Copies of this chain bind each other. A is one copy, B any other.
Amino acid sequence: METEVLVKQLKQKIEELTTVIEASKRITSTLDLSSLLRIIMQLATKVMHAETSSLMLLDETKQELVFEVVEGGEKGEMIKEIRLSVNEGIAGWVARNGEAVFVPDAEKDERFCNKVDMKSGFRTKSLICVPLKVKDKVIGIAEVINKLDEGTFSPDDVSLFSALIDHAAIAIENAKLYKDLQGLFLSTITSLATAIEAKDPYTKGHSERVTRLSLAIAGKIGMSFKEKERLRIAGLLHDIGKIGIPEGILAKPAKLNNEEWGIIKQHPAKGAEILKPIKQLEDVIPVIRHHHEKFTGGGYPDGLEGEEIPLGSRIITLVDAFDAMVSTRPYRPAMKRKDAINEIQRCKGTQFDPKIVEAFLACYEYE
Contacts and interface: CB of A to CB of B under 8 A. Distances in A.
A141 interface: no
B171 A28 contact: yes
Contact size class for A?
A: 35 or more
A211 to B, nearest CB: 15
A78 interface: no
A178 interface: yes
B25 A167 contact: yes
A191 B278 contact: yes
A229 to B, nearest CB: 11
Contact of A29 (B21, B170, B195): B170
A185 interface: yes
Contact of A274 (B181, B192, B244, B280): B192
Task: Work out how many copies of this chain go into the complex.
Answer: 2
Nearest to A173: B29
Interface of A: 3, 6-7, 10-11, 13-14, 17-18, 20-21, 24-25, 28-29, 31, 163, 166-167, 170-171, 174, 177-178, 180-185, 187-189, 191-192, 194-196, 198-199, 240, 243-244, 246-247, 274-275, 277-281
A75 B176 CA distance: 39
Contacts of A166: 25
A184 B278 contact: yes
Nearest to A248: B247
Contacts of A182: 181
A275 B189 CA distance: 10
7 contacts: A17-B21, A21-B163, A24-B24, A25-B170, A177-B178, A187-B277, A188-B278
Contacts of A243: 192, 195-196, 198-199, 243
Given A28-B171, A184-B185, A187-B278, 4 more contacts: A14-B14, A25-B166, A189-B192, A191-B278
A219 B188 CA distance: 26
Contact of A17 (B14, B170, B187, B244): B14
B25 A191 contact: no
A275 B187 CA distance: 9
A3 B14 contact: no
A223 to B, nearest CB: 20
